[in-house]
Amino acid sequence: MRRRSFLGLAAASTLAGCGYRSVDADYAQPAGAVPKEYANRVRVVFWSPYGGTNGKALDKLVEKFNKTQQDVYVEVQFQGSYDDVAQKVAAGLIAKQAPDIAVLSDVTWERFYLNDALEPLNPYFGDSFGPTVFEPKLFGEYVVKGQSWCVPFARSTPILYFNRDLFAKAGLPDRAPRTWSELRSWGPQLARVQTGGRPLRSLAVAKVDGDWQFQGNVWQFGGAYSKGLDVTIDQDGAVAAGEWQRKLIHDDGFGYMASSPTTDFAGGLVAMVQDSTGGLKSVTSKAKFRVGAGFIPSEVAAGIATGGGGIGMFRNATVERKQAAAKFLEFLATPQNSAWWTTQSGYLPVVLKAREDPALKKLIADEPNYGVAIAQLANARQQDAIRLYGRNSNVAIYTGLQQIYADNASPKKVFSSVARRLEAIGDEVRRQYEEKVL
């Protein structure tokens, strides 16, 4: 289960209702032991959602940390998807046996913050680990009431991947379209190219989690999911974005809904997808053609959603373990290590000085796609509050999008129904939001 699904978000939201109360008590760690070669060190348990290429890279970072100092042993434990991590952390907190730190997604860390499960990180900051070290936009998203509740790690934005070889065959420029109108106008030329015995389609949209990419699309058409927790997804800009996608798929026949857009793209079945920068290395390695990357198109405005994961520390770890975990977070925040993680994954360099790292600069010179993600960060915005703080808001939104993509449903009618659901979700969390966020 790869999506940020109902189960994970529901688990993260049931802390207060199922026995968890954040008090000054020390919780046990998940099972494990310090290897003999690292005996007498403080053990830190780190839960991760990264498998595959990114998981191997994270393992190497952890191994480097363990080998380059004498006091702390970090044990990284893979838990599945972002949602799996959130669900298991919530269950562990209720059972009073939890990791010391974990990667929490853009739509799960807020639930732990609202339920007082996270440790404020300000007391652990110093000259080499703190606000001035990180990219301000990404660091600032975790600052609430003057305290930092996570630090950015595997942060991303969507970018537009395009098949340079098929663009050339269609006679199109070797660049991403600058606006959604331009993308639509290229559809007839792309459709004259045959792939798999059928006309090439322009764009594949995601069946699940498409609400993350669509967050930016709504801004690009002048709308918003919400203003604070006041829902606006049924208003003009959001409806216009949905209508554009409906027309591309059902009126033009140039787009379609895919279970895995990047798989279809890497297989040469579609010309373009908007997906995470965190998949850049994976997509590029799988494709048998020249992969291009460009900014997500604008329309009446620019704007893209940030996403990915930050690392949170849990309040009920022992003081000793929290101090040890902070040393690991400081290690990840060094420019060299941050830059290396970017080169191995495609995630954004969250540390400012990482951009000056020679290896990263060389990678960008050799493969400019990596530079696109960094340059596009200027257009990035924190997501609208209803998606971040509203339990299962993302599910409500992408379920609505599926009706548009699969059934040719009217965006105005769909988003009117979605808005009613989001309003109910917002009401559930409004008191906590007003007390702990505003």
Check residue 3 and give its pLDDT.
Answer: 36
pLDDT, tens only, 304-361: 999 999 999 999 999 999 999 999 999 999 999 999 999 998 899 999 999 999 999 9
Contact partners, residue 62, CB within 8 Å, separation at least 6: 46, 74, 75, 76
Q: Let me know how long the chain is.
A: 438
Rounded Cα distance between 257 and 235, Å, is 24
Rounded Cα distance between 368 and 252, Å, is 32
What is the dihedral angle through the alpha carbons of 176, 256, 394, 311, rounded to the nearest 10 degrees?
-50
Domains of the chain, start order: 6-156+307-366 (3.40.190.10), 158-305+384-430 (3.40.190.10)
H/E run at residue 6: helix 6-13
The CA angle 77-27-433, to the nearest 5 degrees, is 90
Check residue 88 and give its pLDDT.
Answer: 98
Report field, pTM of the whole predicted structure over 0.75: yes
Rounded Cα distance between 341 and 352, Å, is 14
> Each residue of 270-291: b (16+ CB within 10 Å) or e?
bbbbbbbbbbbbbbbeebeeeb
Q: What is the DSSP letter of 157?
A: -
Is the Cβ–Cβ distance between 356 and 133 less than 8 Å? Answer: no
Q: What is the mean pLDDT of each run of 10 residues along the chain (438 residues)?
A: 39 53 82 96 98 94 97 98 96 97 96 96 95 97 97 97 98 98 98 94 96 98 98 97 98 98 96 93 93 98 96 97 98 98 94 97 94 93 96 95 98 98 97 95
DSSP E strand stretches across 196-306: 198-199, 201-206, 226-227, 230-231, 255-258, 270-276, 291-294, 304-305
Query: In the chain, how long is the greatest CA-to-CA distance?
Result: 67
Check residue 9 and give its pLDDT.
Answer: 43
pLDDT, tens only, 272-316: 999 999 888 889 999 999 999 999 999 999 999 999 999 999 999
Check residue 2 and give its pLDDT.
Answer: 37
Rounded Cα distance between 180 and 300, Å, is 10
Check residue 6 and give its pLDDT.
Answer: 35
* Dihedrals phi, psi of 233, to nearest 5 degrees: -65, -20
What is the dihedral angle through the alpha carbons of 286, 290, 295, 300, rounded to the nearest 10 degrees?
-110
Phi-psi region of 237 (alpha: psi -120 to 50; beta: other; left: phi over 0): alpha
